[in-house]
Structure 1
């Protein structure tokens, strides 16, 4: 199929998430909306940002959850069943510092080998910014409040709780860089 354009990404995410996981779908829609707003800082890469924002949590879909680690499950689904663009798949696989959580789950080697980190800092930061400034219900929030909400929802002793505590400094720095890039744009 090649590159998943935004419209196709939206249809695919809706099919996999809207009925089975309506709250996750609300978050996904909010993240995608943020990506449309911040796409201006990326020029030609705005489309891959919107598509990756729309598909970043597709691995939560019950029928796709093979390992239980949504970035890896989603990336494999997009690569294997849809032959999605490599950049898009790598963004989904590594969104919001997933490699740190993969380490806690014993999946770091698999994730890093199959889906190496994308060496496009502005694009990576833009996706982190969109994800980490959107609540589970799709509303805007701050990265600090989002991290606190994740810790509260999962608990500090869970795999996700441990990951988010470790990743928080990186998340905050990434969001700050994204905000800086947005502030530098002409109005």
Structure 2
């Protein structure tokens, strides 16, 4: 990892740990996602500046100082954009883990569209890292993470309401990533 990468990722880490300090489980989850993202960046020759920084920052929208809409991917991305973070990082935060499906259902699709979405290996890697780390930072299968998320958010949540379109997307990401990882091994 280059000096530039270490500084960029260190800044993201410090911001995330500071903002998420009142949310210990979210903080542990975030640290686990960042560790998984670093592994994926190395295994798949991805840009660690963007991927690992976005992994550290992906859930800062849950922190009280960032909450505006109550939709954490958008609130996190808006916070990052307002503080001068590169659009590449803010866009990854905005769109992680199929956020566009929930945003559309909540009437926030146009606001989220301010951040360009690219369905590519980098976005797949961030989503896969998020979907393979449980709420306390432990490694889990994508299926276990999905089931846990639905239980945790509850039957009336936006996540459940869009699961019929979001889950196929998350499953496709997991399939693509596991295929790429097998080829890279």
8 Å CA contact 2:28, 2:136 repeated in 1: yes
Against the structure 1 CA distance between its residues 28 and 165, is the aligned structure 2 distance closer, same or farther, given a 3 Å change threshold? farther
Q: Paired residue for 1:116? A: 116
Moved over 6 A (4+): none
Q: 1:26 to 1:164 in 2, by over 3 A?
A: farther
1:126/1:175 contact within 8 Å kept: no
Aligned to 1:156: 155
Tell whether 2:9 aligns with 1:13.
no
Q: In the TM superposition, what is the alpha-carbon distance from 1:157 to its structure 2 partner?
A: 2.2
Q: Which runs of 5+ in 1 are unaligned?
A: none
Could you give the per-residue CA deviations for residues 109-128 of structure 1, whole angstroms, max 9, x where no partner exists? 1111x112135x11011011
Distance 1:158 1:167 in 2: 13
Distance in 2, matches of 1:164 and 1:14, equals 30
Report how many residues are paired.
180
Unaligned runs of 5+ in 2: none
Deviation string 1:146-172 (CA, Å, 9 cap, x unpaired) is 110011111222112223443111101
Q: Is the contact made by 2:44 and 2:181 (CA closer than 8 Å) also made in structure 1?
A: no
TM superposition score normalised by structure 2: 0.92
Matches within 5 A, 1:90-169: 90-112=91-113, 114-119=114-119, 121-169=120-168
The answer to whether the 8 A contact 1:87-1:118 is kept is: no
Q: How does the TM-score come out when normalised to structure 1?
A: 0.91
Map 1:46-85; keep pairs closer than 5 Å: 46-81=48-83, 83-85=84-86
CA shift for structure 1 position 44: 5.1
After superposition, the CA RMSD in angstroms is: 1.5
